[in-house]
């Protein structure tokens, strides 16, 4: 497979899908069959149009997300979705157990837990044990780690995240700096998994994620009228310096920086909605759609780890969107706002 170089130029801003690997023919066939059970956009549209939370939950009755009939609470929904996330993490790790990318789900959980633990530790709050399951460490371990100030036994990517998060916080005394540092550490960890597996596809996915995250960062900073250079992720396809330069340009000139890439139309549409509605909902939906296009590339592979990676991200995104819609219905949010965020 083709590996990415540090200064690789990719004007398509899409991952290189890579080659077939017949060692993973069974895994590919399995996820292809499971993809047929993923929820359709029409299901999400019906959920958004439902009268209330219970009506939206009923629409899921014919799916794996079905819940007992009767009045449902959002806490029950959260519990059900947490179980589905755990099932996905275990399934994916077992499916690709012979590849380094089997750790992809654990890395995601580890970094999510570290964000919370670092925020609590550095703001001198109880570390607690209420962390997500499925990471490389037991949830109760975080108290021990920070109380004893010993994390030498952790995976290297977690050690780096802790060190970078602490340094970033004390440099700015801003809890947001913790999130920025952990985001960079997560990017680096996933990129390294892709390199270890010689998987250009995963490397490309994480670089697209970095680009979209950086574009969102520019837009949010421009709204807040700040030219701070914090929060950018190094390593995407786009030149981070060009994006930082956009902080000093008018909104309508932002997309010109990306004029030769598919990001330009995405930026224009996002800014148009932002100007009219003072909201990032549409832009978030466009980013999701762009990532969907990246996942679709795995369809070109007959056998390999790429379809399993794409399925993992698709299913994770589906669980996230179900939670988003049902939380919105619980809070009686307007149907159109939900549809705008879904992009359907």
pLDDT at residue 250 is higher than 80:
no
In this prediction, residue 2 carries a pLDDT of: 42
CA-angle at 318, arms to 313 and 321, nearest 5°: 125
Domain finish residue from 196, 216, 251: 196
How far apart, in whole angstroms, are the C-alpha atoms of residue 297 and residue 282? 23
Residue 87 pLDDT exceeds 70: yes
Residues 57 and 160 in one domain: no
Whether 94 and 108 share a structural domain: no
User: Which pLDDT belongs to residue 6?
Assistant: 42
Assigned token pair, 29: 């066939």
Whole-angstrom Cα distance, residue 147 to residue 144?
Answer: 5
Pair 110, 204 in one domain = no
pLDDT > 70: percent of the chain: 95
The H-assigned helical ranges of the chain are 25-35, 41-49, 53-59, 74-95, 104-122, 141-147, 156-172, 175-196, 200-224, 240-245, 263-277, 281-296, 306-330, 335-342
Give the best-scoring range by mean pLDDT among 50-54, 68-72, 274-278, 301-305. Answer: 301-305
- Is there a single domain that holds both residue 143 and residue 78? no
Tell whether 1 is covered by a domain.
no
Residue pair 24/303 in contact (Cβ under 8 Å)? The answer is: yes
Tokens of 214: 């950086």
Segments forming the whole domain that contains residue 156? 100-196
Q: What DSSP state is assigned to residue 338?
A: H
Q: Are residues 216 and 67 in the same domain?
A: yes
The tokens 């985001």 sit on which residue?
183
Would you say residue 64 lies in a domain? yes
- Specify whether the CB–CB gap between 144 and 197 falls below 8 A: no
Q: Of 165, 196, 227, which marks where a domain is finished?
A: 196
Query: Which of the pair, 303 or 128, is modelled with greater confidence?
Result: 303
Domain end residue (candidates: 181, 196, 211): 196
pLDDT score of 12: 62
Assigned domain for 174 exists: yes
| One domain, residues 178 and 192 | yes
* Position 297 pLDDT exceeds 50: yes
Q: Check whether residue 94 and residue 109 sit in a common domain.
A: no
User: Residue 344 in 3-state DSSP?
Assistant: coil
Number of domains in the chain: 2
Give the SS3 label for residue 99.
Answer: coil
- pLDDT grade for 11, boundaries at 50, 70 and 90: low
Q: Are residues 64 and 111 in the same domain?
A: no
pLDDT average, residue stretch 293-301: 95
Q: pLDDT category, 71, cuts 50, 70, 90?
A: confident
Q: Give the separation between CA 116 and CA 90, rounded to whole angstroms.
A: 23
Phi, psi values for residue 115, rounded to 5°? -55, -45
């Amino acid at each position: 497979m083709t590996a990415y170089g540090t200064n690789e130029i990719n004007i398509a801003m899409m991952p290189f899908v890579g080659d077939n690997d017949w060692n993973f023919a069974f895994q590919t066939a399995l996820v292809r069959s499971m993809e047929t059970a993923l929820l359709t956009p029409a299901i999400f549209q019906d959920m958004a149009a439902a009268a209330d939370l219970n009506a939206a939950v009923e629409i899921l009755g014919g799916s794996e997300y079905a819940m007992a009939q009767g009045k449902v609470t959002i806490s029950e929904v959260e519990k059900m979705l947490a179980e589905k996330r755990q099932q996905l993490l275990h399934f994916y790790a077992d499916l690709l157990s012979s590849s380094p990318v089997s750790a992809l789900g654990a890395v995601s959980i580890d970094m999510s837990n570290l964000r919370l633990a670092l925020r609590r530790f550095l703001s001198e709050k109880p570390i607690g044990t209420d962390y997500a399951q499925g990471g490389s460490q037991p949830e109760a371990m975080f108290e021990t780690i920070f109380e004893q100030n010993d994390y030498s036994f952790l995976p290297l990517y977690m050690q780096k995240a802790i060190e970078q998060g602490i340094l970033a916080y004390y440099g700015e005394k801003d809890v947001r700096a913790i999130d920025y540092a952990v985001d960079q550490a997560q990017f680096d960890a996933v990129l390294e998994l892709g390199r270890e597996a010689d998987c250009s596809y995963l490397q490309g996915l994480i670089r697209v994620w970095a680009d979209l995250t950086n574009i969102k960062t520019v837009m949010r900073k421009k709204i807040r009228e700040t030219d701070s250079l914090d929060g950018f992720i190094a390593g995407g396809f786009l030149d981070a310096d060009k994006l930082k330069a956009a902080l000093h340009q008018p909104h309508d000139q932002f997309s010109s920086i990306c004029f030769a890439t598919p990001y330009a139309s995405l930026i224009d549409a996002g800014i148009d909605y932002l100007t009219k509605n003072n909201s990032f909902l549409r832009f978030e939906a466009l980013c999701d759609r762009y990532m969907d296009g990246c996942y679709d590339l795995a369809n070109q592979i007959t056998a390999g780890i790429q379809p399993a990676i794409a399925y993992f991200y698709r299913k994770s995104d589906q669980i996230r969107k179900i939670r988003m819609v049902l939380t919105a219905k619980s809070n009686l949010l307007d149907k159109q706002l939900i549809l705008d965020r879904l992009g359907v």
